[in-house]
Amino acid sequence: DIQMTQSPSSLSASVGDRVTITCRSSQSISNYLNWYQQKAGKAPKLLIYAASSLQSGVPSRFSGSGSGTDFTLTISSLQPEDFASYYCQQSYSTPLTFGGGTKVEIK
Amino acid sequence: DVQLVESGGGLVQPGGSLRLSCAASGFPFNRYWMHWVRQDPGKGLVWVSRINGDGISTNYADAVKGRFTISRDNAKNTLYLQMNSLRVEDTAVYYCARDLVGLRSTSCFDPWGQGTLVTVSS
């Protein structure tokens, strides 16, 4: 199974900050990497697919990069509605696996 | 609008069975791979199973293989998860999710249903 490791597991940031979350896979997954946002009590929402493609309707302050084993989700200017948990997920092979999550909290 | 609505969750004793349903609308259901993903209370996301558009091809996580069965009724636009031999560790919110793109599996989940809680406890 491909293991996905996210860091940090949590972070505190202020509105307007630039936030970066990293995800590392235990083997190369090319660009088969997706990012999701989950707010408390809600279902996850797709933000980025294929490592860097922005899902329709997602604000352009979200961006993704990387390939192989190292990936990054960046929020260029954190907004109040961005405080949530974020998960990476590999879609390279089954079993499909997620990172442990990063909780973004208000500083 | 694309909509996925899960039902069938509840409290069940260890060793018991439960069938979850996911009613889909707003898209050509038979063209999409569908998935079940679960989330332990307060914890991360775990993929459970997937099924292709015609219901012929399925895959499972090792933790549920042999106990859970995914299926679909394309005439009813409904996805199912039959869960047998339930264990305490199967306690979770279960989400159904559609594959991002029709006709082939991207294994990228969009959108998701609202989830249904399954509690396995004596």
Q: Is A91 on the interface with B (CB under 8 A)?
A: yes
Angle at B34 between CA B64 and CA A101, to 5 degrees: 65
Q: DSSP string spanning A25-69?
A: ESS--TT-EEEEEE-TTS--EEEEETTTEEPTT--TTEEEEEETT
- When pLDDT is averaged across residues A21-30 and rounded to a whole number, the result is 98
Q: Where are the alpha helices (DSSP H) in chain B?
A: none
- When pLDDT is averaged across residues B99-118 and rounded to a whole number, the result is 93
- Sort out which chain B residues have CB atoms less than 8 A from A95's CB and list them: 47, 59, 61-62
Percent of chain A with pLDDT over 70: 100
**Arithmetic mean of pLDDT over chain A:** 97
- Sort out which chain A residues have CB atoms less than 8 A from B114's CB and list them: 42-43
State pLDDT tens for residues B25-43.
999 999 999 999 999 988 8
Confidence class for position A107, pLDDT limits 50, 70, 90: confident
State pLDDT tens for residues A8-25.
999 999 999 999 999 999
Percent of chain B with pLDDT over 90: 93
pLDDT surpassing 90 at residue A56: yes
pLDDT surpassing 90 at residue B104: no
pLDDT surpassing 90 at residue A39: yes
- When pLDDT is averaged across residues A30-46 and rounded to a whole number, the result is 97
